[in-house]
Amino acid sequence: MHITSRIARNISLLSLTAAVLIHSVSAAAPAIPDVTAKSAILIEAATGKVLYNKDAETRRPPASTTKMMTLIVALEHGNLDDMVTASEKAAYTEGSTLWLREGEQLKMIDMLYGIMLISGNDATVAVAEHIAGSVEKFSKLMTEKAHLIGANNTNFINSSGLPDPNHYSTAHDLAKIAAYGYRNPLFSKIVGTSQVNIPWPEREQDRELYNENKLVWLYEGGNGVKTGYTDAAGRCLVSGAKRNGIQLIAVVLDSERMWDDSIALLDYGFDQVKSQFFWHEGDILKNIRVSNGKQDYVNVAVKADVIAPVIIKGGQTEYETVVDIPMHIAAPVAVGQKVGTVKVMYQDKEIASADLVSAENVEKKSFFATLWSSIRQLFALLLRSIA
């Protein structure tokens, strides 16, 4: 039997580290960015907390930022080692290109790098046809996935982001899609890659792909995510940056200065969010009873640091910690043995967790010690019943 305890905590400025306290009290509040984008948003990825919002719920053409969902669906439905063949339709897809020729084959993983780093529209068609049989069927998978993760104002008609009146999203939805993607380590690796070489069959040299997202190259902690442009959408950028365990996501749609807008949003965000240690590795959280052990209790320790983003704007943010451990465990118990978990929750959403482990060895009682203990307990029960 397990017992789960929920401990509500108001994480105020008083409970933050001294550095955060000094910063929040003495530093002047940063100026709210004045961005040129028609729609923009900034979120902290783990909590989904919105730190900046400008017309972020208006439906707009997302251009090639669409390809974030193309990548997510491909990672969840495809096989990275599959050989993907470019059809005639793929090879002659308009717009930005990986220069695939009809009949050319590349591994799925190489196609995905081509999609995310240089926005190969032809590669999105090849991947869509390989996984779902057609772009239309693949696009339905994309839309269904978007709605499952809460991006309900989004509809995809194709896998590339080429213009269509019924192909749309919002700044907020695109931020949600990026945040979901970052939960997948391979998504994070691909969108955060600055340069990679992939094969170019029948040519002497490989394809050298350089990420078109300049923030991966130039911004401290820049780790994604996707550029986009069409005449209808204007200049669009979903950008990500991670510092001290804090993942921020900024979205600008139809922006006159998308790089400047994005940098201003990310800078603003890192002034609003700080990392907070909830527990350090090795902290003793509590103890639990041991049955048939040479000692009655064992200390339970946190296996790894538990760090979560704390939004300091507004003075306080409420979190909950959830400790899930059994009421007792049976000996023998080995040091480092997993006995439970601890989680940090924000609005019922898990944002950080760690295993709870035994901090010490507990040997099992010998047969005679166990027998003697049982006799003593029985004798005690008899005495109480007589009394």
> Which residues have a catalytic role annotated?
64, 67, 119
Task: Let me know: does 133 contact 102? Beta carbons within 8 Å.
Answer: no
Q: What is the DSSP string of 301-365?
A: EESS-EEEEEE-TTSEEEEEEEEEEESEEESPB-TT-EEEEEEEEETTEEEEEEEEEESS-BPBP
Judged by DSSP in three states, 191 sits in: helix
User: d(Cα 281, Cα 38) in Å, to the nearest integer?
Assistant: 45
Q: Residue 226 annotated as binding?
A: yes
Torsion of CA 158, 233, 213, 220, to 10 degrees: -120
Q: Retrieve residue 185's tokens.
A: 């380590």
Q: Is the peptide bond before 309 cis (omega within 30 degrees of 0)?
A: no
Under DSSP, the state recorded for 101 is P
Contacts 24+ apart (CB under 8 A), 358-361: 358/298, 358/299, 358/300, 358/301, 358/333, 358/334, 359/282, 359/284, 359/298, 359/299, 359/300, 359/301, 359/335, 360/298, 360/299, 360/333, 360/335, 361/332, 361/333, 361/334, 361/335
Amino acid, single-letter form, for residue 112: L
Tell me, what amino acid is at 333?
V
- Radius of gyration (C-alpha) of the chain in whole angstroms: 27
Tokens of 250: 């900024």
3-state secondary structure 207-263: EEEECCCHHHHHCCCEEEEEEEEECCCEEEEEEEEEECCEEEEEEEEEECCHHHHHH
How far apart CA 222 and CA 138 sit, in angstroms, is 30
In the annotated binding site for substrate, the residues are 226
